[in-house]
Chain A
Amino acid sequence: GESVGLHLPTLSVQEGDNSIINCAYSNSASDYFIWYKQESGKGPQFIIDIRSNMDKRQGQRVTVLLNKTVKHLSLQIAATQPGDSAVYFCAENMKGSGANSKLTFGKGITLSVRP
């Protein structure tokens, strides 16, 4: 079946550098994508989202890029800080009938920030 997946299980970056976390999706019917951050012992927290009619969206220190041609999603974090250390998930919302749809998550990738 179709699913959301992540290219790399872990990513280690130097504090102050930019981080890029990648995600591949395979469901062409998905029209809404979200990046979540999960810290130890907590539930996933919303970071940024993007709809399929856009290819880029910027937030505070974060940018999400969507390439529908190759079904690829990425999260860019500028000037990575120790507080960014967490597990990051991409999620896709698959279009369903009417207002019904469901959010499906990738496996997650651990971002580790070196001081």
Chain B
Amino acid sequence: DAGVIQSPRHEVTEMGQEVTLRCKPISGHNSLFWYRQTMMRGLELLIYFNNNVPIDDSGMPEDRFSAKMPNASFSTLKIQPSEPRDSAVYFCASSTVGGRTEAFFGQGTRLTVV
């Protein structure tokens, strides 16, 4: 298995633009997590899905952020409109059994909003 695949690896966009981050979890994993990493706040859980259903989105910073998981092999995290303070590395991770085993992380998407 190729592991968790995220795209793009790097994204530079102007403030106000829409940004879409993509994730393909490991086949057979039924839980998917979106994290944001910054120097100041570390790794923050934004939202997670079990069996394609959003379970907890309490970490989503505001309405500008939205996430979907239309099927077991694909998820998106969208920011609209983007702001400079959204600049961070965004990680997607997947696991089995609702997160009660280790989560496997993708390489991350480094987002820069100018």
Q: Which chain A residues border B95 with CB–CB below 8 Å?
A: 103
Interface status of B100 (Cβ within 8 A of chain A): yes
Instruction: Report whether over half of chain B's contact residues are helix, strand or loop; otherwise say mixed.
Output: strand
- CB proximity to B under 8 Å, residues A2-50: 32, 34, 36, 41-46, 49
Q: Are B105 and A44 in contact (CB under 8 A)?
A: yes
Sort chain A's interface into a size bin.
20 to 34
In contact, B43 and A44 (Cβ under 8 angstroms): yes
| In the complex, number of A-B residue pairs with CB atoms less than 8 Å apart | 64
A46 touches B104 (CB 8 A): yes
Task: Check if B99 sits within 8 Å of A102, measured CB to CB.
Answer: yes
CB of A99 within 8 A of CB of B100, answer yes
**Interface 1/0s, chain B 91-113, versus A by CB < 8 A?**
10101011111111111100000
A42-B102 contact, Cβ under 8 Å, with A102-B45, A107-B42? no
CB-CB under 8 A for A42 and B107, given A34-B102, A93-B100, A106-B42: yes
Indicate which residue in A36, A100, A105 contacts B98 across the interface (CB closer than 8 Å). Answer: A100
A101 within 8 A of B: yes
Kindly state the separation between the CA atoms of A100 and B53 in the bound complex, as whole angstroms: 11
Task: Check A101 against B45 for contact (C-beta < 8 Å).
Answer: no
Counting CB contacts under 8 A, is B114 at the interface? no
Question: Is A83 an interface position by the 8 A CB rule?
Answer: no
Asked if A104 CB lies within 8 Å of chain B CBs, one says: yes
- The minimal Cβ–Cβ distance linking B17 to chain A, given in whole angstroms, is 25
Tell me if B14 is interfacial: C-beta within 8 Å of chain A: no
CA A43 to CA B108, docked complex, whole Å: 6
Interfacial residues, chain A to chain B (CB-CB below 8 A): 32, 34, 36, 41-46, 49, 89, 93, 96, 98-108
